[in-house]
């Protein structure tokens, strides 16, 4: 197991190198650079002034030179400073990290707690009214984009209760209750769709597993229905579901940007989005690399979990 993890961690290196080249090039393919943004769409500055600024920011060097310089700094532990705010990139990401992580974890938690039992019930009571209801609800949840749900939720709570979540982020460690009061709504907006996906996934795999021979054997042994479902079937059905959950967690690190924008939370996604608009190269590069690392690590955790759930994978 240790070797497996180590091998996966080593594979991170070429992955990240490839990622870094890609993001570096793609960013520079975007038309316009930070100097154009600073000067704005209503320009009065002449081209000499623009050129001087580009030189001061090191943007006039050939791209390979810029890349090697950036990579060298990064390896020495310095991801650079934001071209717009002048703050160290590490500090900016560190500030926004807890918000995004909490939002993602909370949303996935909310989704999972509801979706897995619902999926199991739906599968066990297949083709009953309850199953039908759950499936329709799932289909609706799947079709609603989370930003739309978020906006509706906000309009609803603000007009009906005169309440919206605090726009100033309250740290979970300073005030856990205040934090949850603030975060449940954005998390719920994200959770709806995740819930639908997880529910449908659980139901499908459960149905598959329930038709397996070992389930029949378990029933034939005379085990109680509950034991069959929860100990034998669910455990085996969960493997694909966990893949999905892991994928969702990773994706949420960046894709919750829209929800962060709507609720005014300066998470990683929001920061990245703004940085792209600003062509703030160092910040975008660091944020994307960070997302890549998180994604790979979450996949690693998922793989380890597989092995725990299904010993056959470990032996293979």
Partner 1 sequence: MATMAQHDTSVSLLNDVLRGRVTRRGLLARATALGLGTAAIGTLVRLHDTAARAQSGGTPTGSVTWALPSDPANLIPFGGVSTSNMWGKEFMYDSLLAWDRDLNIVPALAESWEAAPDATSYTFKLRQGVTFHNGKTLTAADVKYSFETALNPPEPGIKVAFLENVASIEVVDDLTVTINMSKPDPTLPGVIAWQRYTPIVPEGSGDEINWLSEGIGTGPFRLVEYISNDRVVYTAFEEYWDPASAPCIQELTLKILNDEQATVAALRAGEIDGGTFSADVARTLENNDEIEVLRGLFAAPRVIHFNTVNDVPWRDVRVRQAINKVVDRQEIIDKVYGGEAELTGAIPPGYGDWPLSADELAQLYATDVEAAQALMAEAGYADGFSVTLQAIAAPREYTQIAEVVREQLKQINIDVTVEPLEIGTFAKNIGEGSFEWASTGRGMRGDPSGFVVDFRSGTTLHVAWFGDGWKNDEIDAAYDEALATTDVARRHELYRRIQQIIAEDAVNLYTVQPYKFQAVRRRLSGMYVAYTDFNPGLRTACVTEE
Contact flag: residue 315 with partner 1 (CB under 8 A): no
Cβ distance 131 to 177 under 8 Å? no
Site string for partner 1, 246-265 (x = CB under 8 A): ---------------xxxx-
Site string for partner 1, 201-220 (x = CB under 8 A): --------------------
Judged by CB under 8 A, which stretch of 30-38, 68-76, 103-111, 195-203 contacts partner 1?
30-38
Q: Cβ of residue 179: shortest distance to partner 1, in angstroms? A: 15
Contact flag: residue 64 with partner 1 (CB under 8 A): no
Contact flag: residue 26 with partner 1 (CB under 8 A): no
The tokens for 148 are 């739309």
Contact flag: residue 53 with partner 1 (CB under 8 A): yes
Q: Given the structure tokens 């975060």, which residue do they identify?
A: 183
Judged by CB under 8 A, which stretch of 92-100, 118-126, 248-256, 294-302 contacts partner 1?
92-100
- Cα(289)–Cα(218) distance, rounded to whole angstroms? 48
The tokens for 33 are 């650079």
Q: Helix, strand, or coil here: 256?
A: coil
Contact flag: residue 266 with partner 1 (CB under 8 A): yes
- Cα(164)–Cα(185) distance, rounded to whole angstroms? 9
Q: Report which DSSP code applies to 223.
A: -
- Total residues contacting partner 1 (rule CB under 8 A)? 59
Q: Cβ of residue 194: shortest distance to partner 1, in angstroms? A: 21
Q: DSSP for 130-147, please give it.
A: HHHHHHHHHHHHHHS-HH
- Among 148, 154, 176, 156, residue whose Cα is nearest residue 167: 154
Give the list of residues 6+ apart from residue 157 with CB closer than 8 angstroms, or none.
Answer: 163, 164, 185
Q: Which is nearer to partner 1, 51 or 128 (CB)?
A: 51
* E strand residue ranges, 67-106: none
Contact flag: residue 31 with partner 1 (CB under 8 A): yes
- Which residues form the interface with partner 1 (CB under 8 A)? 30-47, 49-50, 53, 56-57, 82-87, 92, 95-96, 150-151, 154-155, 157-159, 161-169, 261-264, 266, 270-271, 274, 277-279
């Amino acid at each position: 197991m240790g070797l497996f993890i180590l091998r996966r961690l080593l594979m991170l290196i070429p992955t990240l190198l490839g990622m870094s080249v890609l993001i570096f090039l793609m960013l520079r393919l975007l038309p316009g650079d930070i100097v154009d943004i600073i000067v704005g769409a209503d320009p009065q500055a002449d081209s000499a002034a623009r050129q001087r600024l580009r030189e001061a920011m090191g943007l006039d060097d050939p791209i390979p030179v810029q890349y090697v310089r950036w990579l060298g700094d990064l390896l020495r532990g310095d991801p650079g400073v934001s071209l717009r705010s002048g703050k160290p990139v590490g500090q900016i990401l560190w500030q926004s990290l807890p918000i995004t992580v909490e939002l993602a974890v909370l949303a996935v938690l909310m989704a999972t707690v509801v979706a897995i039992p619902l999926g199991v019930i739906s599968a066990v009571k297949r083709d009953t009214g309850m199953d039908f209801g759950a499936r329709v609800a799932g289909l609706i949840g799947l079709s609603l984009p989370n930003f739309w749900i978020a906006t509706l939720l906000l309009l609803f709570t603000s007009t009906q209760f005169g309440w919206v979540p605090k726009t100033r982020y309250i740290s979970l460690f300073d005030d856990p209750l205040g934090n949850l009061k603030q975060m449940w709504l954005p998390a719920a907006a994200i959770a709806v769709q995740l819930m639908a996906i997880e529910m449908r996934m659980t139901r499908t795999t459960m149905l598959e597993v329930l038709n397996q021979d070992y389930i029949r054997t378990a029933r034939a042994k005379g085990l109680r229905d509950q034991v069959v479902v929860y100990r034998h079937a669910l455990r085996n059905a969960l493997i694909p579901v966990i893949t999905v959950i892991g994928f969702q967690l990773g994706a949420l690190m960046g894709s919750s940007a829209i929800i962060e924008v709507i609720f005014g939370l300066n998470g990683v996604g929001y920061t990245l989005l703004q940085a792209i608009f600003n062509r703030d190269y160092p910040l975008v590069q660091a944020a994307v690399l960070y997302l890549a690392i998180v994604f790979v690590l979450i996949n690693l955790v998922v793989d380890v979990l597989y092995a725990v759930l299904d010993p056959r994978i470990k032996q293979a």
